[in-house]
């Protein structure tokens, strides 16, 4: 019953910004940590950032820390990353995912996420 739907992807020039959104149905966020992950062509899926739904505690991968900010809209069941200073290597399919609430270290494990959206494509041109 849980569904996660990403939106906001597209084409952006290097140095530009995008904000992606993850909308949830089935009310999965109450006891969950919500993550954003991505998969570039020919590469494994990687963790980017996560936020604890109830408290807003966040975790970031080193590759995006300082450029990406993950936030949640508590009232509207939305989670989104604000992505600034985008680089061509940020080109990937970006996924929203959810898992049972836990600490930040565990949130970095890609395989630990239980629910996944279908992804949204981000292309950063040089």
pLDDT tens for residues 28-48? Answer: 677 889 999 999 999 999 999
Q: Is the pLDDT confidence value at 55 over 90?
A: no
pLDDT computed for residue 104 by the predictor: 79
- pLDDT, tens digit, 9 for 90 and up, residues 70-123: 999 988 889 999 999 999 999 999 999 999 877 778 888 999 999 999 999 999
Q: Mean per-residue pLDDT for 46-58?
A: 92
Cα 80-97-67 angle, rounded to 5 deg: 40
Confidence (pLDDT) at 121: 98
What is the pairing mode between strands 58-60 and 68-73?
unpaired
Question: Strand, helix or coil at 27?
Answer: coil
Confidence of residue 54 (pLDDT cuts 50, 70, 90): confident
Residues with Cβ < 8 Å from 6, sequence gap 6 or more?
A: 20, 21, 22, 94, 95, 96, 117, 118, 119, 120
**pLDDT at res. 102:** 75
Distance between CA 20 and CA 83 in Å, rounded?
Answer: 8
pLDDT computed for residue 110 by the predictor = 93
More confidently predicted of 56 and 18: 18
Q: Given a cut of 80, is residue 27 above it in pLDDT?
A: no
Q: What are phi and psi of 60, to 5 degrees?
A: -135, 145
CA distances (Å), origin 26, targets 30, 54, 59, 100: 10, 16, 24, 14
More confident residue, 13 or 27: 13
- pLDDT value of position 24: 86
């Amino acid at each position: 019953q849980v569904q996660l739907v990403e939106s906001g992807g597209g084409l952006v020039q290097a140095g530009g910004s995008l904000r992606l959104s993850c909308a949830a149905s089935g009310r999965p966020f109450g006891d969950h940590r919500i993550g954003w992950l991505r998969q570039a062509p020919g590469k494994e899926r990687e963790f980017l950032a996560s936020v604890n739904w109830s408290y807003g505690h966040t975790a970031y991968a080193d590759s995006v820390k300082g450029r990406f900010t993950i936030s949640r809209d508590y009232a509207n069941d939305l989670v989104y990353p604000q992505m600034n200073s985008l680089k061509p290597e940020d080109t990937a399919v970006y996924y929203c995912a959810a898992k049972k609430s836990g600490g930040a270290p565990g949130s970095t494990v890609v395989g630990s996420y239980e629910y996944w959206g279908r992804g949204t494509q981000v292309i950063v041109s040089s």
